[in-house]
């Protein structure tokens, strides 16, 4: 009787819109937590390093613990999502994040700190799988792109927030250092890195509360045989006609899948069936190429890149803040366009722009790196009998190294020179970051066995599974290369910064928004959760490899070669999008599945 009442219909429509907005808000909080997971350590690390008395190897482990936790949880996230449901896994991921904050902020040693960061990484891995998965299965076809874009948009907000919090505390520390004694400064730095982590607690609590209040995924409920509950879940954000249509599509897809299987295999379907291979491999290539654009490395080493390009320390830190703001702003643009222009359009524009930007930045670095010289022999002579090296790279030291190599100084000015050292202990090779002779407040280069040789067999396996750990513990320090180069002027630095902003703009507008959609839309419902886990795991492994080789590669071959390498990977990305990716805008998940089943059998 009330179905035809306009007032009742308007109230129901309003309630559905409110629930859809609530879904987007909760998903956005998940993206915010993911961004905080990635970015929070950058602002906290300098103060943690200054006050924790941890070795370089332990600090590296603290930074890498998030990545280790992410890889581990990503591997099992799909299985957990199928076993316990999307909603409970979202709650679990939020609770894990919330627990990690006091563990980190109250820690007094390496063990609790490492464990807390590991929990943070595990939370991020779960969120990265379950939130896009949940959105894809809950939102209608017309709003799925915008909804998944909000996840990425607030992820970038997490990065911006982490950068702003970090620079806020850098100003606070500077003010305290000018007005207080050393003991007061030490105490403030110790509290600074703890407060940086405490700041990220409220979004985690809100995400947990929001996850408790949302409904379960209708497609997960359907797969469990609970059709009535699936229909009720669809009704929370759709009209009765839309809900009935999508439920009927689910039933037809499931029935067709059973008909296409031999009688003895109709109960079980696996990822290895031929009709699943094409979308799975396409998602795999897209996820691998997405991180191979260099996005994580460029984001993580952004300040160092800008320093080497010619900007001052403060300019570089503000340059990074602008970089994260470009990411945030252009993600919003992509989010507004993705359901209008389509996924392929944004992917194509984004990847082509990334290629041009990376090549442009590479050319800028080629112009300065061609004058670099190798002072490895001279630096090797400075190694102490205990096989360590401490070197303060100031203008006088730069002049000495240049003179030893026969440089006249006409191409490299000792007052604006840079130095990076590649070294090894046995089978383990490491590299310092670039230091500048004009950085009067910079710390000296310190090379010890702890900076290269793993502390145990587990770390050794991940760093170099074929290395001899015992031999490296007594091996001499060998300087492989010591690259002395010219630091260009600030004008060159801002040109590089603009190139990086263009890179970030094209990435954020295209792949940054669309990659989560590709991950959640391409694979059929029956394998989506496990397929997402596998492809995200490959994504994390590629990211790990690139992060691990970045500094040694740059120290040996220069930033230009690294940017050209990223550009070549992006060319593969562009070709994959243009020739193999179908447009999924406006299609239900069942329609996308039917498309790939048709391709697979053709």
**Residues 320-340, mean pLDDT to the nearest whole number:** 85
Task: Give me the pLDDT at residue 572, please.
Answer: 95
CB atoms within 10 A of CB 403: 13
Residue 264 has pLDDT above 50, yes or no: no
Confidence grade of residue 396 (pLDDT, cut at 50, 70, 90): confident
**Residues 305-332, mean pLDDT to the nearest whole number:** 83
The SS3 assignment for 373 reads strand
Least confident of 142-151, 173-182, 511-520: 142-151
Least confident of 23-27, 117-121, 187-191, 582-586: 582-586
Query: Given its phi and psi angles, is residue 27 left (phi above 0), alpha (psi -120 to 50 degrees) or beta?
Result: alpha
Helix (H) or strand (E) holding 300: helix 295-300
Confidence grade of residue 266 (pLDDT, cut at 50, 70, 90): very low
C-alpha distances out from residue 346 to 11, 77, 150, 484, 520, Å: 36, 28, 16, 41, 17
Q: What is the distance between the alpha carbons of residues 529 and 74, in angstroms, rounded to a whole number?
A: 10
Task: Give me the pLDDT at residue 25, please.
Answer: 84
Q: What is the distance between the alpha carbons of residues 319 and 500, in angstroms, rounded to a whole number?
A: 10
Q: Give the residue carrying structure tokens 């409220």.
A: 202
Confidence grade of residue 5 (pLDDT, cut at 50, 70, 90): low
Least confident of 238-252, 282-296, 326-340: 238-252
Q: What is the distance between the alpha carbons of residues 534 and 44, in angstroms, rounded to a whole number?
A: 31
Residue 442 has pLDDT above 70, yes or no: no
Q: Does 324 or 177 have the greater pLDDT score?
A: 324
Confidence grade of residue 301 (pLDDT, cut at 50, 70, 90): confident
Residue 326 has pLDDT above 80, yes or no: yes
Confidence grade of residue 385 (pLDDT, cut at 50, 70, 90): very high
DSSP state letter for 143: T
Confidence grade of residue 602 (pLDDT, cut at 50, 70, 90): very low
CB atoms within 10 A of CB 473: 12
Q: Does 570 or 200 have the greater pLDDT score?
A: 570
Residue 486 has pLDDT above 50, yes or no: yes
Residue 157 has pLDDT above 50, yes or no: yes
**Residues 548-564, mean pLDDT to the nearest whole number:** 82
Task: Give me the pLDDT at residue 363, please.
Answer: 95
Top mean pLDDT of 40-44, 563-567, 580-584 is at 563-567
- Give 73's contacts (C-beta < 8 A, 6+ positions apart): 121, 122, 123, 124, 125, 126
In our burial notation (b when 16+ CB lie closer than 10 A, e otherwise), range 46-85 reads bbbbebbebebbbbbbbebbbbbbbbbbbbbbbebbbeeb
- Give 600's contacts (C-beta < 8 A, 6+ positions apart): 274, 275, 276, 277, 278
Confidence grade of residue 601 (pLDDT, cut at 50, 70, 90): very low
**Residues 480-500, mean pLDDT to the nearest whole number:** 88
Residue 293 has pLDDT above 90, yes or no: yes
* Paired tokens of 272: 């290895």
Q: Please work out, in degrees rounded to the nearest 5, the angle formed at the alpha carbon of residue 322 by the alpha carbons of 320 and 328.
A: 110
* Paired tokens of 268: 């079980």
Q: Does 458 or 220 have the greater pLDDT score?
A: 220
Task: Give me the pLDDT at residue 564, please.
Answer: 96
Which CATH fold topology does 11-215 show?
Answer: Growth Hormone; Chain: A; (1.20.1250)
Q: What is the distance between the alpha carbons of residues 489 and 302, in angstroms, rounded to a whole number?
A: 17
**Residues 427-451, mean pLDDT to the nearest whole number:** 79
Percent of the chain with pLDDT over 70: 86
Least confident of 17-21, 218-222, 445-449: 17-21
Q: How far is the first Cα of the chain from the last one, in angstroms, to the nearest whole number?
A: 50
**Residues 315-342, mean pLDDT to the nearest whole number:** 84
Residue 528: CA count within 13 A, CB half-sphere: 32
Residue 275 has pLDDT above 70, yes or no: no
* Paired tokens of 514: 């669309």
Q: What is the distance between the alpha carbons of residues 447 and 449, in angstroms, rounded to a whole number?
A: 7
**Residues 68-90, mean pLDDT to the nearest whole number:** 85
**Residues 175-188, mean pLDDT to the nearest whole number:** 80
- Give 80's contacts (C-beta < 8 A, 6+ positions apart): 89, 92, 126
Q: Identify each DSSP E strand in 470-525 by its residue range.
A: 477-486
- Give 439's contacts (C-beta < 8 A, 6+ positions apart): 313
Q: Does 544 or 175 have the greater pLDDT score?
A: 175
Q: Identify each DSSP E strand in 465-587 by its residue range.
A: 477-486
Q: Please work out, in degrees rounded to the nearest 5, the angle formed at the alpha carbon of residue 64 by the alpha carbons of 498 and 421.
A: 65
Confidence grade of residue 350 (pLDDT, cut at 50, 70, 90): very high
Task: Give me the pLDDT at residue 599, please.
Answer: 45
Nearest to 422 by CA among 457, 447, 392, 387: 447
**Residues of each domain in the chain carrying CATH 1.20.1250.20:** 11-215, 292-602
Residue 261 has pLDDT above 90, yes or no: no
From the options 1.20.1250.20, 2.30.30.700, 3.40.190.290, 1.10.3720.10, give the CATH code of 292-602: 1.20.1250.20
In our burial notation (b when 16+ CB lie closer than 10 A, e otherwise), range 179-212 reads eeeeeebeebbeebbbbbbebbbebbebbbebbe
- Residues 124, 71: contact at Cβ < 8 Å? no
pTM of the predicted protein model: 0.72
Least confident of 52-56, 134-138, 209-213: 52-56
Q: Does 342 or 503 have the greater pLDDT score?
A: 503
**Residues 520-534, mean pLDDT to the nearest whole number:** 72
Q: Identify each DSSP E strand in 352-433 by its residue range.
A: 373-374, 389-391, 417-425, 428-431
**Residues 369-388, mean pLDDT to the nearest whole number:** 87
- Give 175's contacts (C-beta < 8 A, 6+ positions apart): none
Task: Give me the pLDDT at residue 7, please.
Answer: 63
DSSP state letter for 592: H
**Residues 331-340, mean pLDDT to the nearest whole number:** 83
Task: Give me the pLDDT at residue 384, please.
Answer: 92
| Mean pLDDT, the chain, whole residue set | 81
Q: Identify each DSSP E strand in 426-540 by its residue range.
A: 428-431, 435-436, 445-447, 477-486
Residue 269 has pLDDT above 70, yes or no: no
Task: Give me the pLDDT at residue 569, please.
Answer: 95
Q: Identify each DSSP E strand in 427-565 by its residue range.
A: 428-431, 435-436, 445-447, 477-486
Task: Give me the pLDDT at residue 360, please.
Answer: 96
């Amino acid at each position: 009787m009330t179905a035809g009442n306009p007032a009742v219909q308007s109230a129901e429509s309003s309630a559905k819109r409110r629930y859809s907005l609530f879904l987007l808000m909760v998903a956005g909080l998940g993206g915010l937590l993911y961004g905080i997971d990635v970015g929070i350590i950058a602002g906290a690390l300098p103060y943690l390093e200054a006050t924790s008395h941890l070795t370089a190897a332990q600090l590296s482990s603290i930074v890498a613990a998030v990545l280790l936790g992410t890889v581990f949880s990503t591997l099992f996230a799909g299985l957990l999502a199928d076993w316990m449901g999307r909603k409970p896994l979202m709650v679990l991921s939020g609770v894990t994040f919330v627990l990690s904050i006091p563990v980190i902020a109250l820690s007094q040693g390496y063990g609790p700190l490492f464990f807390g960061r590991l929990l943070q990484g595990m939370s991020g891995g779960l969120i990265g799988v379950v939130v896009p998965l949940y959105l894809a299965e809950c939102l209608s076809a017309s709003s799925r792109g915008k909804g998944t874009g909000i996840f990425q948009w607030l992820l970038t907000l997490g990065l911006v927030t982490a950068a702003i919090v970090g620079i806020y505390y850098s100003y606070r520390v500077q003010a305290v250092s000018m007005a207080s004694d050393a003991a007061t400064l030490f105490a403030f730095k110790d509290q600074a890195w703890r407060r940086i982590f405490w700041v990220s607690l409220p979004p985690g609590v809100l995400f947990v509360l929001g996850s408790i209040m949302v409904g379960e995924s209708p497609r997960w409920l359907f797969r469990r045989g609970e059709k009535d509950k699936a229909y009720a879940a669809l009704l929370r954000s759709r009209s009765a006609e839309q809900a009935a249509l999508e439920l009927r599509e689910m039933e037809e897809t499931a029935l067709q899948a059973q008909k296409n299987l031999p009688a003895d295999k109709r109960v079980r379907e696996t990822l290895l069936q031929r009709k699943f291979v094409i979308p799975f491999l396409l998602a795999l290539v897209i996820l691998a190429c997405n991180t191979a654009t260099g996005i994580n490395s460029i984001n993580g080493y952004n300040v160092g890149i800008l320093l080497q390009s010619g900007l001052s320390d403060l300019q570089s830190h503000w340059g990074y803040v602008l970089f994260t703001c470009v990411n945030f702003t252009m993600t919003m643009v992509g989010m507004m366009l993705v359901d209008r222009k389509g996924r392929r359009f944004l992917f194509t524009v984004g990847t082509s722009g990334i290629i041009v930007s990376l090549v442009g930045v590479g050319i800028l670095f080629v112009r300065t790196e061609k004058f670099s010289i190798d002072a490895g022999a001279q630096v090797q002579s400075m190694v102490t009998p205990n096989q360590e090296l401490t070197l303060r790279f100031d203008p006088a030291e730069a002049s000495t190294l240049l003179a030893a190599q026969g440089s006249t100084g006409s191409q490299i000015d000792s007052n604006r020179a840079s130095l990076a050292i590649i070294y090894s202990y046995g089978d383990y090779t490491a590299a310092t970051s670039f230091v500048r002779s004009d950085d009067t407040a910079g710390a000296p280069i310190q090379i010890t066995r702890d900076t290269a040789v793993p502390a145990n067999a587990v770390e050794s396996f991940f760093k170099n599974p074929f290395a001899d750990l015992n031999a490296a513990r007594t091996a001499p320090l060998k300087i492989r290369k010591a690259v002395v180069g010219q630091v260009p002027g600030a004008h060159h630095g801002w040109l590089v910064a603009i190139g990086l902003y263009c890179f970030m703009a094209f990435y954020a507008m295209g792949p940054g928004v669309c990659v989560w959609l590709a991950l959640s839309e391409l694979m059929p419902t029956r394998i989506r959760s496990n397929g997402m886990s596998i492809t995200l795991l490959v994504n994390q492994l590629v990211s790990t490899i690139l992060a691990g080789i970045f500094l040694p590669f740059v120290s040996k071959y220069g930033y230009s070669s690294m940017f050209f390498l990223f550009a070549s990977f992006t060319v593969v990305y562009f070709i994959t999008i243009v020739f193999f990716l179908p447009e999924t805008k406006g299609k239900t998940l069942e329609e996308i599945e039917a498309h790939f089943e048709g391709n697979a059998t053709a």
